[in-house]
Structure 1
Amino acid sequence: MNTLHNILFSVYPYICLSVFLMGSLARFDRDQYTWKSDSSQLLRAGQLRWGSNLFHAGILFLFFGHAVGLLTPHWVYEPFISPAHKQMLAVVAGGVAGAVCFVGLTLLLHRRIFDPRIRLTSHRTDLFILVILWVQLVLGLITLPFSLGHSDGSVMLVLSDWAQRIVTLRPDASGLLNLAWPYKVHLVLGMTIFLLFPFSRLVHVWSGFATVAYLLRPYQVVRSRRVGLPTRQER
C-alpha cells in the first residue's frame, strides 16, 4: 500500500503534468481543427445558457481558489490570516462555488443525456469528461464535512505542503497517508483530469487564457493610404 501511495502521489502527478503540457502542445500543432468546444447551442439554447453560465462561473472560482490556496506558501498569508480561518474561508467560499457549479454541470449533463438531438451529435468523450467532472465535483463537496471536522487548518497545511513540493520537484507524499479517503480520491481524479485534458474538448480552456492575452496586446497602428486624384488631363 505504501508503494501504491507513493506512486499515486509522488510519481503520477508528474506523468499527468507531462501529458497535460506536451499533449496540449502536440494537439495544437497537429490537430488545430479539433481545438474547439463543440458547442451545441444551435440545437437547444435555453438550458445551455443557464447550465454553461453557472458551470463556468463556479469552475473558474474553484480552479483559481484551489491554485491560490494550495500553492501559496504559509509564510505569505500567516501575518494576515491563520490557517484555521483560511480553511474556514475555503470551506464556505468553496461550498458556495461548488453548489453553483454542481447545478450548472448537472444541467449540462442532463441536457447531453436526455435530449435526443444533442445526444446523437455528442461524442463519447463529451459525455465521459462531463461525468468525470461531475464525480470530481461531488467528491469535492463530500470533503467539506471532513474539513469542518479539522477546524484547526491542519488538513489544509498538509495538502498545501504536498502540492508545493510537487511544483518545486521535491515530492513527499508521507503527509497524505492519514488523510480521509475522499481527499485522496479527489486528488487522484483531479490529476487524471489533467491527464485526459489534451484528448478532450477541455483544450478550449487554453483559448480562454489566450483571450486575456489578446486584450492586453498593443494597439495595431494602421495608416491610411492616400491615393492621388486624377488630374484634368488624365481624365
Structure 2
Amino acid sequence: MNTVVWIVLPYLCLAVFVGGHVWRWRHDQFGWTTHTSQLLESRILRLGSPLFHLGAFGVIGGHAMGLLVPASVTAALRIPEHLYHLTAVWGGTLTGAMLVAGLVLLIARRFADRRVRHTTTPMDKVLYAALAAMIALGMTATVAVNLLGHGYDYRETIAVWFRSVFWFSPRSDLMIGAPLVYQLHAVGGFLFLALWPFTRLVHVWSAPLAYLWRPYVVYRARRGLVPATPPAPAAVRETTLRTVGERSHG
C-alpha cells in the first residue's frame, strides 16, 4: 500500500499533469483561458482576485522553499533553524489567510450573483472544492500542528521524499511516520496536479507578468469620443473635385 500511495500515485499524477497539458493545447486552445466573468460582476472580483492570487503566490513560494531547499543549504548560509521556523510558520499563516479570504470571496461571488452562477461549469465546482480541501489541509498543518501544536519537522521527512520522487529514487519509508494531515496534504497535492490541465488553471502558463499585482482584465468604456468619419473612396473624391472645378469655371 505504501508503494502505491507514495511511489505509483505521484508518478501517475505527474504523467497526467504533463500529458493533460499537451492534450489540452492540441485539442482545446480556444478553452485555454480564464473564462473571466468580470463584465458580469466586478465589485467582489476587485478584492477577491488579488487576495487569492497574491496569497497563492506566497503559498507556492513557501512550499518551494520548504520542499526544494534542503536543511543543509540553510545551515550552510548560517540561517538559524528557529528563525527559519518562525518565518515559515508566520509567513505561511499570513499568505494562507489571504488565500482563504480570496477563495471565500470568489466562491461567494460565484453563487451569490445569478449571472456569474450561470457561467460556472461543473469543472469549476470541482476545482473550487479541490482548492478548498487543499487549503484546509495546509492551514491545519501550519496553524494546528506548527503554530499551536508541538510542531513537526517536515524538512527531514516529507521534503526529502518529495525531492526523491523527482530524482527517480522515491523514499516511501519517510512518509510512514508523518502526521496524517501532512500525508493527506501530500496526496491531495499530487491529485491536484492531475486535475490542473483540465481546469481554467491552465491560464497561468499564459498570464502576463502584470497579473502579479493586478490579476484580472480591465475593461474601459470609451466615453465622449466621436467616431471619425471614414475617408471617401478615391473615385468619389475625384468626382467631387471635378464638379467643384466645373462650377468655379462656369
- TM bin (shorter chain): 0.7 to 0.9
Whether the 8 Å CA contact 1:71–1:164 is kept in 2: the answer is yes
Q: CA deviation at 1:25?
A: 1.6
Q: How many angstroms apart in 1 are the aligned matches of 2:4 and 2:120? A: 35
Give the match for residue 197 of structure 1.
196
Return the index of the structure with the highest Cα Rg. 2
CA–CA distance in structure 1, aligned partners of residues 80 and 11 of structure 2? 31
Alignment of 1:77-96 (within 5 A): 77-79=74-76, 80-96=78-94
C-alpha separation between the residues in 1 aligned to 2:79 and 2:8? 33
* Aligned counterpart, 1:233: none
CA displacement, residues 6-41 of structure 1 (integer Å, 9 cap, x when unaligned): 211111111111111121122112210010011110
1:45 is aligned to: 42
TM-fit CA distance, 1:42: 0.5
Show the counterpart of 1:100: 98
Deviations 1:85-131 (A, max 9, x none): 32332111000000011000000011112222111111111121012
SS of the residue 1:78 aligns to: helix
> Superposition RMSD on alpha carbons, in Å?
1.5
Q: In structure 2, what is the equivalent of residue 176 of structure 1? A: 175
Give the counterpart of 1:120 among 118, 127, 133. Answer: 118
Q: Deviations over 1:161-216 (max 9, x none)?
A: 111111111101211112221111111111111001111111111113xx45xxxx
Mind listing any 5+ residue stretches in structure 1 that lack a counterpart? 213-235
Distance 1:16 1:27 in 2: 16
CA contact (8 A) 2:56 2:95 kept: yes
Q: Corresponding residue for 2:137?
A: 139
Question: Could you tell me whether the CA contact under 8 Å between 2:70 and 2:155 is conserved in 1?
Answer: no
Q: 1:85 to 1:173 in 2, by over 3 A?
A: farther
Summarize deviations over 1:117-169 as a string: whole Å, max 9, x none.
11111111112101210121111111122124445x63332121111111111
1:7 and 1:87, CA in 2 relative to 1: closer, same or farther beyond 3 A? Answer: farther
Q: Please, what TM-score do these two structures have when normalized by structure 2? A: 0.78
Q: Percent identity?
A: 34
Deviations 1:44-71 (A, max 9, x none): 0010111100000000111122122201
Amino acid at match of 2:186: L
3-state SS in 2 of match to 1:171: coil
SS across alignment from 2:40 = coil
| Runs (5+) with no aligned partner, structure 2 | 210-250
Match of 1:16 in 2: 13
1:84 Cα offset (Å): 4.3
How many aligned residue pairs are there?
Answer: 206
